[in-house]
Amino acid sequence: MKKYLDIIVNGFVKENPTFVLMLGMCPTLATTTSAINGLSMGLATMFVLICSNLVISFLKNLTPDKVHIPVYIAVIATFVTVLQLMLKAYLPEIDASLGLFIPLIVVNCVILGRAESFASKNGPLASIFDGIGIGLGFTFGLTLLGICREFLGSGSVFGVILFPESYGALMFILPPGAFITLGFLVAIVNKIRGV
């Protein structure tokens, strides 16, 4: 059990995909206009990550080395399609607000990166825990960025109004704010990690 807990902590802290590995930057910057959008994007990615990690760890001995990347991409694309159809059916508002970035989970380098560096070398159970750890780390990163941008830009967090919207700096919700907020968050995380 200790071993699996370590895998989760590793994904969340040591190899945090947003602040340390800096992977999957496109959805990180694009979908974090509000805390709830960041959270839903993180959870959507986590779902695909766990499923694809599990399947790929089963397939690792069956795939010939030469075609392993196309096979991984096909597995990931399958789960993204499953997610896309489920969101359309049950959570249409989230589907509408994340839009193009749901199909683009396929090319999120976090998922292919974990398939290549973890799931293709470890057993199914360990791969699931790696998916949970990295997925939680990614969700945490996106939610934190979403909270900061929503707070600075419109004065609310998760839709709860903290100060009147007219005092907010709209720039933080617009594209430049995404780069700048993430830049400063990375600096703060670097300070905490003592780099």
Partner 1 sequence: MQYLLIFIAAIFVNNVVLSQFLGICPFLGVSKKVSTASGMGVAVTFVLTIATIVTFVLQKYVLTPYELDYLQTLTFIIVIATLVQMIEIILKKMSPSLYNALGVFLPLITTNCCVLGVAILVIQIDYSLLESVVYAFSTGIGFALALIVFAAIREQLDMVDVPRGMRGMSVVLVTAGLLSLAFMGFSGLEGGLRSLFGLA
Residues in contact with partner 1 by CB under 8 A are 22-23, 25-27, 29-30, 69-70, 73-74, 77-78, 80-81, 84-85, 100, 103-104, 106-109, 112, 171, 174-180, 182-184, 186-188, 190-191, 195
When the beta carbons of 8 and 182 are compared against partner 1, the nearer one is: 182
When the beta carbons of 2 and 191 are compared against partner 1, the nearer one is: 191
Least distance between partner 1 and beta carbon 103 (Å): 4
When the beta carbons of 29 and 147 are compared against partner 1, the nearer one is: 29
- Sign of the CA dihedral with 43 first, then 47, 53, and 56 last: negative
Least distance between partner 1 and beta carbon 7 (Å): 25
DSSP letter for each residue of 114-182: HIIIIITTS-HHHHHHHHHHHHHHHHHHHHHHHHHHHHHHHSEETTEESS-GGGS-GGGTSHHHHHHHH
When the beta carbons of 121 and 193 are compared against partner 1, the nearer one is: 193
When the beta carbons of 128 and 178 are compared against partner 1, the nearer one is: 178
When the beta carbons of 126 and 189 are compared against partner 1, the nearer one is: 189
Least distance between partner 1 and beta carbon 3 (Å): 31
Least distance between partner 1 and beta carbon 70 (Å): 6
Burial of 101 (C-beta count, 10 Å sphere; 0-12/13-18/19+): middle
Nearest to 39 by CA among 128, 123, 141, 178: 141
| Distance separating alpha carbons of residues 149 and 157, to the nearest angstrom | 9
Nearest to 30 by CA among 182, 187, 184: 182
Least distance between partner 1 and beta carbon 169 (Å): 12
Burial of 185 (C-beta count, 10 Å sphere; 0-12/13-18/19+): middle
Least distance between partner 1 and beta carbon 88 (Å): 10
* Amino acid at position 111, single letter: I
